[in-house]
Amino acid sequence: MQIVSQATTISKGATKLEKTLSKPRIDEWTELRGLAFLAIVLQHSIGEYIYRPDIERPDSVMLGIIYHLTRFGTPTYVFLSAALLFYNFKSRPAAEDARLLGKRFGDIYVPFMIWTAIYWIVARSWSEIPLTAPGWWQSLLREMVIPVSGYHLWFVVMIFQFYILFPLLGRAWSRVKPFFLTENGTGNAVRTGIMLGVAGAAYAVLMHWSYYDMSGWQSGLPRLLQFLLEHRTYIFVMYFFYFVLGAVCASMIRSWREFARRALPWNAVVFLLLFTMMGYMLLQQSGDAINLNISTYLKPSTFLLILSQMLLLYGLLLRPHSAAVPGRFRRMLAWMGKYSFGAYLCHALLLYGVAYFTRSFPLQNLHLAAAGASFVIVACAALALSRLLSLLPGGHWIVGASGQRRRKDASSGGKSQPLRERTASDLN
């Protein structure tokens, strides 16, 4: 009995020590998440105004150019989701993986289902379609797989595929990861560079096929393949390079940070060149009306712009005492990152509300200003609503569990807590 008691004490002590030695929180990830949220709200605000028939050419051109500054938003969410999962990955029994997947379903997919139903109800109400019209339940179930009423909710469908497959992907990466690490745990620059170069080239080819070729592949294919090609933006494979990049960042955080710092000068020049090129292509290919689909995520040139901008912002966030990123602004970004998942879910509904009033206003030569004002209003309101809903009993079913978890961390005395296993509700 004494031996059993001692063994239990040792086991508890080891568990406590393991928690104490958990990996530290990566502050720039939360701040980058806040920037990504702002980019997505600005992107959707621009989309609301740039296609209005009364917009003048100067406003249309300026909105199109600014639009390229927002392209990093959603891919950065993918990158951060992968980074945090790989950062905390530990090989577990299948039963434990199933339990974590169920928890992620509650943290991610249940809020998605609630907001999908809300957007579906609002869309049918505005279209004056009775909620119980024939086929209503088939329509609602279809929204749970291919959301249309909530146009931004496709991201949750896509990223959840990654969560389902992550136990397999995590084990595969843990086997190959030592090949890319040196003896002291830093990244092997040559091997990692070759691996990322090959993966990036393969992804660029995939983006070329997606943008230029895949729409012509559908004829003659089985119906399932036609469906997958038509809805390829919902498939996580179409974003695989950002997952690979997240795995590299998480596994070699010191080397990644050093690379992001050193890349700042030349990457700033690369970003400016790509930004200028993308603006020129948009104006050249749009004709009289600006067509934002020219700058879709799934296009090689957009991929390069996103990659450069993501690395540029990461490097800037590593300079906490620079004038480029003031401390107060960093704290604001961190706060936004805490509640960004719930804000992401609800922001499109708030934008609908703003647009409901602005569509009746004469906005001649004011579309640029209206898009900017809508962006500020919607971003602030969405974050406030996410924070408010997180305070309600059961609020995690609506906006995810991230806000509540962080409040528990804060109640522990203000000390930095170990980085726990988190889900996309912490990231988006």
Mean pLDDT by 10 residues, the chain (428 residues): 42 41 81 96 96 92 95 96 92 83 91 96 88 88 93 95 93 91 80 95 95 82 86 93 96 94 96 96 89 92 96 90 68 93 97 91 90 97 96 92 50 38 39
State residue 320's pLDDT score: 67
Strand stretches in 150-193, DSSP E:
none
Distance CA 315, CA 319 (A): 7
Output the six-digit token pair for 229. 């090609």
Sign (positive or negative) of CA dihedral 350, 355, 356, 358: positive
Q: Where are the domains of the chain?
A: 25-426
Distance CA 156, CA 114 (A): 12
* C-alpha 168 chain-centroid distance: 22
Burial of residue 201 (number of CB atoms within 10 Å: 0-12, 13-18, 19+): exposed
Q: Give the three-class secondary structure for 307.
A: helix
CB 398 within 8 A of CB 108: no
State residue 426's pLDDT score: 40
pTM reported for the whole predicted model: 0.87
Distance CA 240, CA 353 (A): 35
Place of tokens 């959301």: 147
Helix (H) or strand (E) holding 247: helix 240-251
State residue 213's pLDDT score: 87
Which residues on adjacent β-strands are paired with residue 376? none
Burial of residue 117 (number of CB atoms within 10 Å: 0-12, 13-18, 19+): middle
State residue 365's pLDDT score: 86
State residue 214's pLDDT score: 85
Residue 162's identity, in one-letter code, is: F
State residue 326's pLDDT score: 67
State residue 424's pLDDT score: 40
Sign (positive or negative) of CA dihedral 214, 218, 222, 225: positive
